[in-house]
Amino acid sequence: MIYLKDEAIVLQTVQVGEKDLSITVYLKNLGKENIYIKGGQIIKNPFLTTVQQFNWFKGVLIKYKEKLFIKEIDKSYNLAINISQNLDSFFTASKILETFNKYTTFPDKKMFNLLKKTFYFLPRAKNKELLQTAFLIKYIYLHGIFPTFGKCIKCKTKINSRNFQNFILENKGSLCKRCSRVRKTDLTYEDIVFLSKIFKTKYSKMINLDFSHSKLRLLSKKLNDYLKINFS
Ligand SMILES: [Zn+2]
């Protein structure tokens, strides 16, 4: 039997039979793991409210025969309640989790912190789509696949509004007018400037900002496509 201190974010909660729960968590040190909670569906279970999707907790886990159990919870933050109060934030958080679940396969403390911060600020943000787009670009950076926005991938010339020709997702970078004649582009010059800007902006500075929702939805879709291309 091994005792482990760790922090967790609940990615998924699944009911097992009539009484038990199986949760998938992302742990700060161990990464993605399943935890079995005997009697987790019973109202008087001390862990019941803590182990809901989106929540953060810190505690002691026990590893026994390759399985993880919760020994005690020292501190927790009920993000689930804040997120679920607003339908928009609930759907956005679900989409963020879906992406995170799909592409996070190894333990990474920075990714853990990014997810935790995103869920903390999401209910407070005026524009949920903006936070989702910001999450995606920051997440792409942590994967080490940040696109080459500012330089032409062929000739390395600095890109500006006059020489920018295209940004095609498969290329993972911009091309200048001298290197490409293709006018069709997945991202416009304004898009890459915008994405570079929100990449550097802290969530705390972002929660009062507002931009076109349809534009942000389109950018989020492109960033999800970008992840797909990089991981296929
Ligand atoms: Zn070029």
DSSP letter for each residue of 162-197: TTEEEEEGGGTEEEETTT------SS-HHHHHHHHH
How does pLDDT run across 180-211, given as a tens digit for each residue?
999 999 999 999 999 999 999 999 999 999 99
Distance from C-alpha of 140 to C-alpha of 227, rounded to nearest angstrom: 7
Instruction: Work out how many domains the chain is built from and give that number.
Output: 2
Q: How many A from CA of 180 to the centre of ligand 1?
A: 7
Q: Is the pLDDT assigned to residue 63 strictly greater than 90? A: yes
Average pLDDT, rounded, for the chain: 95
Per-residue pLDDT at 171: 97
* Residue 130 sits in the same domain as residue 202: yes
Q: How many A from CA of 195 to the centre of ligand 1?
A: 21
Q: How many A from CA of 176 to the centre of ligand 1?
A: 4
* Residue 55 sits in the same domain as residue 134: no
Per-residue pLDDT at 77: 92
Q: Is 93 part of any domain?
A: no
Q: How many A from CA of 232 to the centre of ligand 1?
A: 27
Per-residue pLDDT at 221: 97
Write the Ramachandran bin of 230: left for phi over 0, alpha for psi from -120 to 50, otherwise beta.
Answer: alpha
Q: How many A from CA of 25 to the centre of ligand 1?
A: 44
* Residue 56 sits in the same domain as residue 129: no
Adjacency order of strands within the sheet including 173-176: 148-152, 173-176, 164-168
Q: How many A from CA of 170 to the centre of ligand 1?
A: 16
Q: How many A from CA of 153 to the centre of ligand 1?
A: 7
Question: Sorting pLDDT into bands at 50, 70 and 90, what band is 43?
Answer: confident
> How many CA atoms does the CB half-sphere of 202 hold within 13 Å?
2
Per-residue pLDDT at 66: 86
Q: Is 59 part of any domain?
A: yes
Q: Is the pLDDT assigned to residue 48 strictly greater than 90? A: no
Q: How many A from CA of 193 to the centre of ligand 1?
A: 18
43: CATH: 2.40.50.140
Q: Is 213 part of any domain?
A: yes
Per-residue pLDDT at 232: 86
Domain extent for 207 = 125-145+187-231
Per-residue pLDDT at 173: 97
Per-residue pLDDT at 9: 97
Distance from C-alpha of 137 to C-alpha of 101, rounded to nearest angstrom: 16
Q: How many A from CA of 217 to the centre of ligand 1?
A: 29
Global pTM?
0.94
Contact 62, 71 (CB under 8 A): yes
Q: Is 73 part of any domain?
A: yes
Question: Sorting pLDDT into bands at 50, 70 and 90, what band is 49?
Answer: confident
The domain boundary, picked from 80, 115, 134, lies at 80
* Residue 52 sits in the same domain as residue 131: no
Q: Is 158 part of any domain?
A: no
Structure tokens at 59: 């505690």
Q: Is 22 part of any domain?
A: yes
Instruction: Summarize the confidence of residues 65-85 as an average pLDDT.
Output: 93
Q: Is 46 part of any domain?
A: yes
Q: How many A from CA of 147 to the centre of ligand 1?
A: 15
Query: What percentage of the chain has pLDDT greater than the value 70?
Result: 100
Q: How many A from CA of 210 to the centre of ligand 1?
A: 34
